[in-house]
Amino acid sequence: MTEPADAHERLSKPRRRKEARPAEIVAAGISEFQEHGFHRANLNRIAKKAGISKGTIYLYFASKEALFLAAIETHVTSVMGESEDALTDVNGTTRDLLTKLLENMYARFVHGEAQALLRILLTEGDRMPGVISDYHAMTVQRGSTLLRKILMRGVDRGEVRPGPALETPHVIIAPAVYLAVHHIMFRGAQTLEFEPFFEAHIDTLFHGVLATR
Amino acid sequence: MTEPADAHERLSKPRRRKEARPAEIVAAGISEFQEHGFHRANLNRIAKKAGISKGTIYLYFASKEALFLAAIETHVTSVMGESEDALTDVNGTTRDLLTKLLENMYARFVHGEAQALLRILLTEGDRMPGVISDYHAMTVQRGSTLLRKILMRGVDRGEVRPGPALETPHVIIAPAVYLAVHHIMFRGAQTLEFEPFFEAHIDTLFHGVLATR
DNA sequence: CGCCTTACTGACCCCTAGGTCAGTTGCAAA
DNA sequence: TTTGCAACTGACCTAGGGGTCAGTAAGGCG
């Protein structure tokens, strides 16, 4: 009578799909870990989400921690890789480039999945130094290098004033991270609108707060 | 023979001190929660730190959560109250005022206890909306108001360029929070020196990155 | 010094959730 | 169809730690 076979998993009887399992478990894990963090994440729930039993998880992962590492790693690479080529075109003014870069940053940290990832790593990062240093390399280090490149180019073109920011380009994207942190901490409780914040960031970044003599 | 009575608690035999207990337990709790967060904090360890047994904690606090709330509340008010009057003197240029304010911020977020507090609230904040909104009022809201006042005054004096940052002064202190977050995430693993970062922040904040025509 | 109140103790209870494994079943080859 | 194997199940085991409570002793009072 009923044939729910098309839907991914319903109450259909167990199928044996060795190849598909790990990815499905990791996907379920990502969702669970995002929602609850490591400690409060529950393997039975993960199993249910993946449409399997708890035991099956242990056929593919040695422990909760191992699953967690796999999930984070998958998620990091996916999130990082997703909007990669947004700035391969090095045309336009430095102003345009920076604006585009920041829009990208905000999109990921405020609306996107990078926020959940940030939350997890902030919450649970000390248990996995390996992931943390990967994350550092993939985001902070890489971002800094890219930013420095843009700024250098700007200096060459006479658009950017040479200064200490060239050495510590973190400062430039800091407000985006701040907004993400604000969202994580205050959730719906205290809003901080994206638009005006972004405006203020861009404006201050380009011109500073001081009046030009 | 031995009389270690002067040291706070050694292996001296149990004393009955109804008044002093709660504060001692809260102090031990703060230290434990800072170090391990809520879930990994251990009541036996807290008891040991406070020089009492676990049962005694339950004479004064109904549950682990109740102790946690008390500890956080105590800590928030103490940390917030500590450096309050750093800017009651409204003399000097806007530049000086902002520099002083930011030095203060960095001192608390990078070297001080505000960092640990930030970590806890970031990690465990969703379990206590009351504390979170107190924290918001005491830090974000108050800081914004103060900053806006300084900027307004600067505009009046012709030192500050009017702009969107007046509406969203968060942007101005964002890098300090960023640095704190960086420290929390990467601990000793990846260093980010305070001095150059602070320099770059101040410089960019005042003058922006763009070359002045 | 005896007695009573109560701060305090710590062995114990028990629930939660990570981890295990004997048994079940899909599936493909014989 | 039978047989073998490996994917899969879920009841069970166990550790850790929050929470309890019968017992202990400090110390004030008569």
> If you average pLDDT over each of A13-27, A167-181, B83-97, which comes out highest?
A167-181
Handedness of CA A29, A35, A37, A40 (dihedral sign): negative
Cβ-based neighbour number of residue A109 at 10 Å: 22
Query: Does A207 touch chain B if contact means CB atoms closer than 8 Å?
Result: yes
> In angstroms, rounded to a whole number, what is the distance separating the alpha carbons of residues B207 and A69?
43
Model pLDDT, residue A90: 66
CA torsion, ordered B13, B19, B25, B27, to nearest 10 deg: -120
Could you read off the pLDDT of B99-137 as tens digits, one per residue?
Answer: 999 998 899 888 777 888 888 888 888 777 888 888 898
Nucleotide with C1' nearest the B44 CA: D17
Cβ-based neighbour number of residue A170 at 10 Å: 21
Q: For the whole model, what pTM was predicted?
A: 0.82
Closest approach of A72 to chain B, Cα-based (Å) = 15
B58 touches strand D (CB under 7 A): yes
Nearest by Cα to A212 from B64, B213, B193:
B213
Nucleotide with C1' nearest the B22 CA: C7
Q: Is the pLDDT of residue A72 over 80?
A: yes
Closest approach of A116 to chain B, Cα-based (Å) = 12
Model pLDDT, residue B174: 97
Nucleotide with C1' nearest the A50 CA: D8
Q: Is the pLDDT of residue A10 over 70?
A: no
What is the average pLDDT across A108-115? Answer: 82
Average of per-residue pLDDT values in chain B: 86
Least confident of A15-24, A88-97, A186-195: A88-97
Of B122, B175, B192, nearest to A122 by CB-CB distance is B122
Contact state of A122 with B181 under an 8 Å Cβ cutoff: yes
Could you read off the pLDDT of B140-177 as tens digits, one per residue?
Answer: 888 899 899 999 999 999 999 999 999 999 999 999 99
Nucleotides on chain D within 7 angstroms of protein Cβ: 6-11, 17-22, 26-27
